[in-house]
Structure 1
Amino acid sequence: MKLEGWAITAWIAGLILLALLILFGLSGWSPTTITSGIDATGRCSLLLFSVAFTASSLHRLWRVPLTTWTLLNRRWIGLGFASSHFIHLALILSMSLAFPEPFLSRQSMGQWVFGGIGYGFVFLMAVTSSDRAQHWMGMKSWKRLHLTGSYWLWTVFLFTYIKHVKQGPDWLYLPLLVFTIALLPIRLAKQLPPRPSLGTAA
């Protein structure tokens, strides 16, 4: 069975929720386990975002079955990212309410505002991820929203992992920061001429 469409989003959300249920079932509900869940869903969101963010560029550069599948299902992968990131938000709010200190004192107002705008973009991009929304908004406005939102979210991930690298441990967060930075040139590479498909005669 080929995984396509809504099934991709459902599998992503289901697996994340299952992993969290296992985590909290084995380790209990505590600041440590919630923090682990926040970190894990954040990394999961970054991975899913990276796939949606670079899908068209990778397909233009390497037209192989995997990149074709990714491009065709980018909408559903993006909705999977939205699911992951709202689960991430739910854990942040749970931590803020159940164990506010020292969690809240470590967060700046700028983080809440910058991240909050990011969640606004996630919501708007998710609810407009349909052909009907494209028709209603007009392609120009739709593209402007999704382009602005995607670069805003990339910037949120960038500053998040810059902060994590400063706090450490470097061995964990520095590769994630490098990975996040690398997404930008890959995204911009879509401006390059497309490479021929594998097996195509020169």
Structure 2
Amino acid sequence: MKVDGPRITVWVCVLILLSLAVFLMQAGWSAASIKTGIDATGRSSLLLFSIAFTASSLQSLWRTPLTIWILRNRRWIGLSFAASHFVHLALILAISLCFPEPFLSDQSKAQWVFGGLGYLFVALMALTSTDQAQKWMGLQNWKRLHFIGSHWLWAVFALTYVEHTKKGPLWLYAPLLVFTLALIPVRMAKHQPPGALHGITN
């Protein structure tokens, strides 16, 4: 079955929610199991975000059936990221209400503000991921919102994995941090002259 368009978001939501439900049924409802769910949905959000964030660059660097498919479905991959990240938020709210300590004490005000603004951008970008919204806002305003929002979210991921890498385990979080940092040069690659990508000068 060919998966395109809204089906992508539907399948991603089903897989995330089903996996989370199965895990929580096995592990039980506890602070530890919710934290595991938070970590897992954080990684699924990072993966989906990274695909949408670099879609046009990947297609320009490596034109393959896969990268063409990714670019064609970038909107739905982006909405899949939004869905994953709101599941992530739901788990954060759950642990804050059910097992507030020491979770709340471990979070700084800066994390709440920075992350909260990130969720505002996720909501705004999801709500404006339609042709009608683009026409209503005007192309330049639409591009400005999605450019600022996507780079703010990249910064949230980067700072999150900087903190996780400091706390460890290093073998798990250091690769995720390197992966996140690498998204910017990949995204910027499409803006380089074709010769520069291959080390060619005129």
TM-score range, shorter chain: over 0.9
Percent identity over the alignment is: 66
Any residues of structure 2 matched to 1:26-175 within 5 Å, and which? 26-175=26-175
Contact preservation (8 Å) 1:60, 1:194 = no
Aligned to 2:15: 15
Contact preservation (8 Å) 1:118, 1:149 = yes
Contact preservation (8 Å) 1:41, 1:84 = yes
Whole-Å separation in 2 of the counterparts to 1:172 and 1:62: 28
* TM-score, with structure 1 as normaliser: 0.95
Contact preservation (8 Å) 1:158, 1:180 = yes
Any residues of structure 2 matched to 1:166-185 within 5 Å, and which? 166-185=166-185
1:68-123, Cα deviation, whole Å (9 max, x unpaired)? 00000000000000000000000000000000000000000000000000000000
**Residues matched between the structures, number:** 195
User: Aligned-pair distance for 1:141?
Assistant: 0.2
1:8-65, Cα deviation, whole Å (9 max, x unpaired)? 0000111000001001111110011000000000000000000000000010111111
User: Aligned-pair distance for 1:2?
Assistant: 1.1
Residue type at the aligned position of 2:20: L
Residue type at the aligned position of 1:49: F
The ranges of structure 1 where at least 4 consecutive aligned residues each deviate by more than 4 angstroms after the TM superposition are none
Contact preservation (8 Å) 1:57, 1:187 = yes
Extract unaligned runs of 5+ from structure 1: 196-202
Q: In angstroms, what is the RMSD of aligned CA positions?
A: 0.9
User: Aligned-pair distance for 1:153?
Assistant: 0.2
- Name the structure, 1 or 2, with higher relative contact order (CA <8 Å, separation 6+): 1
Whole-Å separation in 1 of the counterparts to 2:110 and 2:163: 13
Whole-Å separation in 2 of the counterparts to 1:116 and 1:188: 27
Whole-Å separation in 1 of the counterparts to 2:189 and 2:161: 23
Residue type at the aligned position of 1:112: W
